[in-house]
Homo-oligomer: A and B are copies of this chain.
Amino acid sequence: MHTVGFGQHDHAACVGSGLRAAESTCAEHGLRLTKGRRRVLEILLQEHRAMGAYDILSILSDEGYASQPPVVYRALDFLVVNGFVHKIQKLNAYVACSHPGDEHTPVFLICRACETVAETTASLKATLGKAATEMGFDIETTVVEAEGLCPDCKKSRGSGDTV
């Protein structure tokens, strides 16, 4: 199992490798990683957290890009469809994929206190697929999100209180 989450990591490296992975995947598949799309991905990689579309939009806007919602939603749509970014349904937020390129069914662990999101993969696909097959249902995409307390927040408060 591969995880990128509540521990330390080489951040500059992960931004660079994320962008390179997107570039090479786009080159392979004839997709256009345009300036705006690239910048949105870069922002998500840099921030390394789940961000709302309007958070991203305000950064773009500060930089002189167009500041209308469709701009960022279109970029996000492209990035999500092609697997460079995932949407966190519980937060209405977006996060850069931690291991692009791999075919994967991501599992997210969301801290309800600090809202940090860790992406991990667990082999739920077989179990889910079996349950669906029994009902004659064909699964195309899955969302798995678990909410709780991350190690840091557990430490700093002990109990289960809210922010």
Most buried by B among A89, A90, A112: A89
Closest-by-CB residue of B relative to A124 is: B124
Chain B residues near A7 (CB-CB < 8 A): 135
Separation of A128 and B123 alpha carbons in the complex (Å): 9
Number of copies: 2
Interface residue range, chain A: 35 or more
Closest-by-CB residue of B relative to A151 is: B136
Give the residues from 116 to 153 in chain A that come closer than 8 angstroms, CB to CB, to chain B: 118, 120, 122-124, 127-128, 130-132, 134-151
Separation of A145 and B109 alpha carbons in the complex (Å): 15
Structural contact, B137 and A127, CB atoms closer than 8 A: no
**A154 contacts the other chain (CB 8 A):** yes
Closest-by-CB residue of B relative to A152 is: B136
Structural contact, A122 and B128, CB atoms closer than 8 A: yes
**A5 contacts the other chain (CB 8 A):** yes
Chain B residues near A144 (CB-CB < 8 A): 124, 128, 142-145
Given contacts A124-B127, A127-B124, are A118 and B146 in contact (CB under 8 A)? Answer: no
Instruction: State the A residues within 8 Å of B (CB).
Output: 1, 3, 5-7, 89-90, 107, 109, 111-112, 118, 120, 122-124, 127-128, 130-132, 134-151, 154, 160
Q: A6-B136, A118-B135 are in contact. List 17 more A-B contacts (CB 8 A).
A: A6-B137, A107-B131, A111-B137, A122-B128, A123-B127, A124-B124, A132-B148, A135-B151, A136-B154, A138-B148, A138-B154, A140-B149, A142-B145, A142-B146, A143-B145, A143-B147, A144-B145
